Amino acid sequence: MAFVLSKKDLFNWIDDLSSAKDVFGPVLNHRGETIFEKISDSKKLDLNYQSVMTSPRKFVYPSRQNIDQRSLDKAKDRVVFGIHSCDMHAVSVLDRTFLGDHKDAYYAKLREKTATIVLNCNKACKKKYPNYTLKGFCASMGTGPFLKIKKGYDIEITEIGKQLYLIEPNSKKGKELLGKNKKLKTALKKDLSQKSKIERAALKTFTKELDTKGLPKLLADNLAHPVYRETADSRCLGCTNCTMVCPTCFCYSIEDTTLYDLKTSKRDRYWDSCQEINFAKVHDGNFRETREARLRQFVTHKLSNWMEQYDCLGCVGCGRCMTWCPTNIDLTDMAKEVQKVAKKGKRK
């Protein structure tokens, strides 16, 4: 069942939620950047934001996390509001990693405690930075601009008018969050039609595209393509920025620390990166010692290997990796270079 809510009533609902539990959402900070932080006043929400550097994955998979029973016990209920479609898809990708055959207790606990409210995008993300313009391509990846997954989130919200929002709960938790809100009105057929109309219009605003048909196999068959060496040697700094901002990267390392009393210790896990030179170092050497090998790993894992592992692509088209790369390396450009092989009818 779907509902409609005015913008004023939507904000009042967020304020009511904030008074009862921790609610996080896209807020414009003093530097003019939108970041996800705890909401103290709904008026500070930036519902028209284009992108954020650190995706909402941090709420279910923190960059650094204490891993012991105490951290499980301390997990609190919270709500993350205003997640873009591509980022919600990214969380669903992480679910396949951490909630698959080998369930990760720490991820599972935070996922269970975190209610997710998605805000569909009414146009393609485009944001100018001093040296680069972020351009989302989620439409090419099947992850946006509107939500495509059917489960794994709690509420879907779409702006269908200047001051009007369509509210679609998708879980028991979502229905509970809406509660007995007397301002909710049952959505009419015209409201749902308006949503479809807005989605069709949003799809026309994309200027960045990537043809993914046959791409996973093509990349797997052309691992020696010179684009990896040329890009790595001329532009890649091995800084790991791409993996730190990617919403689907899941690699981590473990760190044990002895405290100053020399009697107690703690164990943390933190985001690791396949772009770090020692990541692939094992007892008998390093099987990805060159930047070429590490860069190829990033591109092929996002656009090829994930299909075999999880039956989906590891890239959601958010555009963060190329935006926050110091030299703006674009994985879609590298993929297109490899695709030229198929167009020529031969392999390099």
Q: Which residues pair with 282 in a beta bridge?
A: 285
Q: What is the mean pLDDT of residues 273-283?
A: 92
Q: What is the mean pLDDT of residues 260-271?
A: 92
Radius of gyration of the chain (CA): 21
What is the extent of the structural domain holding 284? Answer: 215-344
259 and 182 inside one domain: no
Give the 3-state secondary structure of residue 318. coil
Answer whether residue 210 is part of any domain. no
Between these two residues, 69 and 203, which has the higher pLDDT value?
A: 203
Give the list of residues 6+ apart from residue 117 with CB closer than 8 angstroms, or none.
79, 80, 81, 82, 83, 153, 154, 155, 156, 157, 174, 177
Distances (CA, A) of 63 to 91, 244, 268, 275: 14, 9, 10, 16
Residue that is last in its domain, among 140, 170, 203: 203
Mean pLDDT of the chain: 94
225 and 194 inside one domain: no
Q: How far apart are CA 228 and CA 241, in angstroms?
A: 17
Q: What is the mean pLDDT of residues 212-230?
A: 96
Confidence of residue 346 (pLDDT cuts 50, 70, 90): low
Own/partner long-range contacts of 128-133 (Cβ < 8 Å, ≥24 apart): 129/323, 131/328, 132/322, 132/323, 132/328
Residue that is last in its domain, among 179, 203, 227: 203
Q: What is the mean pLDDT of residues 193-200?
A: 97
Residue that is last in its domain, among 156, 174, 203: 203
Burial class (CB in 10 A: 0-12, 13-18, 19+), 219: buried
Token duo for residue 252: 């981590």
Position 347 pLDDT exceeds 60: no
260 and 174 inside one domain: no
134 and 235 inside one domain: no
Confidence of residue 30 (pLDDT cuts 50, 70, 90): confident
Between these two residues, 90 and 264, which has the higher pLDDT value?
A: 90
52 and 150 inside one domain: yes
pLDDT value of residue 322: 96
Distances (CA, A) of 230 to 205, 234, 235, 322: 32, 6, 8, 17
197 and 50 inside one domain: yes
Q: What is the mean pLDDT of residues 282-290?
A: 89
Q: Are 134 and 127 spatial neighbours (Cβ–Cβ below 8 Å)?
A: yes
Give the list of residues 6+ apart from residue 303 with CB closer than 8 angstroms, or none.
212, 215, 216, 219, 313, 314, 315, 331, 335
Answer whether residue 209 is part of any domain. no
pLDDT value of residue 68: 84
Q: Are 241 and 326 spatial neighbours (Cβ–Cβ below 8 Å)?
A: yes
The four Cα atoms 203, 209, 218, 89 give a dihedral, to 10 degrees, of -50
Tens digits of per-residue pLDDT, 53-105? 999 999 999 999 999 877 788 888 999 999 999 999 999 999 999 999 899 99
pTM: 0.93
Tens digits of per-residue pLDDT, 227-252? 999 999 999 999 999 999 999 999 99
- For the chain, percent of residues with pLDDT exceeding 70: 99
Amino acid at 5: L
Q: Are 106 and 98 spatial neighbours (Cβ–Cβ below 8 Å)?
A: no
Tens digits of per-residue pLDDT, 115-174? 999 999 999 999 998 889 999 999 999 999 999 999 999 999 999 998 999 999 999 999
192 and 219 inside one domain: no
236 and 112 inside one domain: no
Q: Which residues pair with 78 in a beta bridge?
A: 22, 114
136 and 283 inside one domain: no
Give how many domains the chain has, as a whole number.
Answer: 2
Q: How far is Cα of residue 257 from the mean position of the Cα atoms in its chain?
A: 30
Q: Which residues pair with 38 in a beta bridge?
A: 24
pLDDT value of residue 342: 78
